[in-house]
Structure 1
Amino acid sequence: MSNVNVAIRVPALLGEGPSWDAENGRLLWVDIEGFKVHAYDPATGLDEAFDVGQHVGAVVPYQGDEVMVALRSGFHAFHLRTGRLQLIEDPEQGLDGNRFNDGKCDAHGRFWAGTMSMRNESGTGALYCLEEGQPVRTWVKGVSTSNGLGWSPDRTAMYYIDTPTRCIDRFDFDLTSGTLSNRTTLIKVPEALGFPDGMTVDAEGMLWVAHWGGGCVTRWNPDTGELLQRIDVPADQVTSCCFGGENLEDLYITTARTGIREERLQETPDAGSVFVVRPGVKGQETHAYDKRNKG
């Protein structure tokens, strides 16, 4: 297995939410605190940043240069080139102390994203689902920091992380109706590994988890709870990960600089960068928003 390398050397305050845009051969990711959506082309090495003017928790592919974003003010369509923002729905209108965090699409193109308090309040967030032509649905309430999401390869399970609980949970998932049931805790992450943050699921059904304060990503078997693999990252605040590249063999890892003392930043100068590694397994495809109706 090759070593972790810097893919994008950039001092992101809070890099997060990577998703692979296969149609355009690029990695989409966000800097939540920098108010930016990024698009990185590994073929050229060019990383472009687009200002959205507010906290942006997640980005997913949509159509061409239009992406879907979960902003502090709700779900929007965002055109990278023109800067046009179109509000779809804000399910937390009036909750000024919250913002959206991690999110991604299921295999039917529904956009799942959750919220968290910016005041360190517990239980004020929720997990929502945006589906084309439907009102936003609320699926999980009483969330503190809505984070990692992922689905099993057979699409019968959805995995979910509410970071302060240190737990990785499983829901039974009905792809046709987009419904969740039977929440069960599978894994309790040890304190020595920091807090579980973003997550992705590989083609073998194993869970890849980023560790805030843990400086690593880990691979877990959801059936047994066994820790299978650990990849150390030269940044303390590891926020999320996703598979990308032509064959989905590259694991992209986002990190943050926020919450780190200046002395420590001197020791880890690449904190905030996006890293890449080939861990020896392939990922599942990133689904675009409402892919069913894109022709």
Structure 2
Amino acid sequence: MSGQSPKPVWELEAELGEGPVWVERDQALWFVDIKKQQIHRYDPEAGAKQSWKSPEQVGFILPTAGGGFVAGLQSGLYRFDQGSSAFELIVEVEPDLPDNRLNDGVVDPAGRLWFGTMDNAEKAKTGAFYCFHEGRLKRTGLDGIAITNGPAISPDGGLLYFVDTLKGTIGIAEIRDDGSLGEPRPFARIDPADGYPDGPTIDSNGYVWISLYAGWGARRYAPSGELVDSVRFPVANITKIAFGGADLRTAFATTARQLLSPEKIAKQPLIGALFEFRVNVPGVPCPLARL
């Protein structure tokens, strides 16, 4: 599984690379640089690379039913049209908390968009998880978190995994038919000495991949919570993995160089690059968000 070393495919020096997602209709990987306010597209077949500027910090970009994308900007959810580069507000999120921003997001098989907010200074426990579906924004009850990450959804759409990065915990909750969540319970915990859990991703066997910030790698956990594998990177801050390519067996990983001194960057010059490596178990196609 972890025999192949990740290699850089786009050395773009991302300040805070995040949110990679393989868009099937596009056969391309989309991701963001939150701090540089950029959206990126990488077509591995053609080697093509494109970028767009966002008007605010952008936490994620996900494809929507009917074309186009939904972008999680600092102030809320926006429609994004890559042809015109236009952003159109769908709904404000937490207008009463201007120091918060949207971070990570995912779409479940029913087309519901799940995402988290967080304190932009990464200290106050003002973050929460939300669900948006067909025009309705709902709080999930998962809140009081400084840095939210994920969530991630099991392949059958029945389980939601969510990360409290500073606590080092990954939790799990059942998704009921009406989109509400069951009682959350612990899934796994990562010792701060091993890094901080960042974005989670789930493969087609239901195994959970956790990226490690300040941990030089990524881990793969069985549905039972048992650690079964890990992948070592040549850089410290891995933020999230997405599975793509024609067979969904190419793992792409975003990384970040924010807050690192020039000396530390010099010791890991590839930090901030987009990486790829091959895996045995494919990912799950990204569902389309039904706004």
When normalised by structure 1's length, the TM-score is 0.94
- For the pair 1:265 / 2:265, whether they are aligned, the reply is yes
Q: CA deviation at 1:98?
A: 0.6
- Aligned residue type for 2:178: S
> For residues 8 and 238 of structure 1, what CA distance do their matches in structure 2 show?
15
**Other structure's SS at 1:122 match:** coil
Partner of 2:32: 30
Partner of 2:284: 284
> For residues 113 and 35 of structure 1, what CA distance do their matches in structure 2 show?
18
> For residues 180 and 53 of structure 1, what CA distance do their matches in structure 2 show?
33
Among the aligned pairs, what percent are the same residue?
32
- Aligned residue type for 1:137: K
- Residue-by-residue CA offset, 1:215-249 (whole Å, 9 max, x unaligned): 101101131x2211111111111111111111110
User: Are the structure 2 counterparts of residues 63 and 46 from structure 1 closer, same or farther at C-alpha, using a change threshold of 3 Å?
Assistant: farther
> For residues 201 and 62 of structure 1, what CA distance do their matches in structure 2 show?
20
- For the pair 1:189 / 2:190, whether they are aligned, the reply is yes
> For residues 120 and 202 of structure 1, what CA distance do their matches in structure 2 show?
29
Partner of 2:216: 215
Partner of 1:227: 227
> For residues 193 and 64 of structure 2, what CA distance do their matches in structure 1 show?
38
Unmatched 5+ stretches in structure 1:
none
Mapped contact 1:65–1:80 kept (Cα < 8 A): no
Q: CA deviation at 1:63?
A: 5.3
Partner of 1:132: 134
Mapped contact 2:106–2:150 kept (Cα < 8 A): no
Alignment of structure 1 residues 107-186 onto 2, 5 Å: 107-134=109-136, 136-139=137-140, 140-174=142-176, 176-186=177-187
Mapped contact 1:148–1:240 kept (Cα < 8 A): no
Give the count of matched residue pairs: 288
Partner of 2:44: 42
> For residues 241 and 54 of structure 1, what CA distance do their matches in structure 2 show?
23
> For residues 156 and 85 of structure 2, what CA distance do their matches in structure 1 show?
37
Mapped contact 1:110–1:130 kept (Cα < 8 A): yes
**Other structure's SS at 2:166 match:** helix
Unmatched 5+ stretches in structure 2:
none
> For residues 19 and 160 of structure 2, what CA distance do their matches in structure 1 show?
17
Mapped contact 2:65–2:290 kept (Cα < 8 A): no
Q: CA deviation at 1:2?
A: 2.5
- Aligned residue type for 1:188: R
Mapped contact 2:30–2:39 kept (Cα < 8 A): yes
Alignment of structure 1 residues 11-90 onto 2, 5 Å: 11-62=13-64, 66-90=68-92
> For residues 54 and 261 of structure 2, what CA distance do their matches in structure 1 show?
27
The alignment yields a C-alpha RMSD, in angstroms, of 1.4
> For residues 66 and 112 of structure 2, what CA distance do their matches in structure 1 show?
18
Mapped contact 2:5–2:232 kept (Cα < 8 A): no
**Other structure's SS at 1:128 match:** strand
- Residue-by-residue CA offset, 1:161-206 (whole Å, 9 max, x unaligned): 01111011010112x3212111001111122221000010111111
> For residues 46 and 83 of structure 1, what CA distance do their matches in structure 2 show?
18
> For residues 124 and 16 of structure 2, what CA distance do their matches in structure 1 show?
21
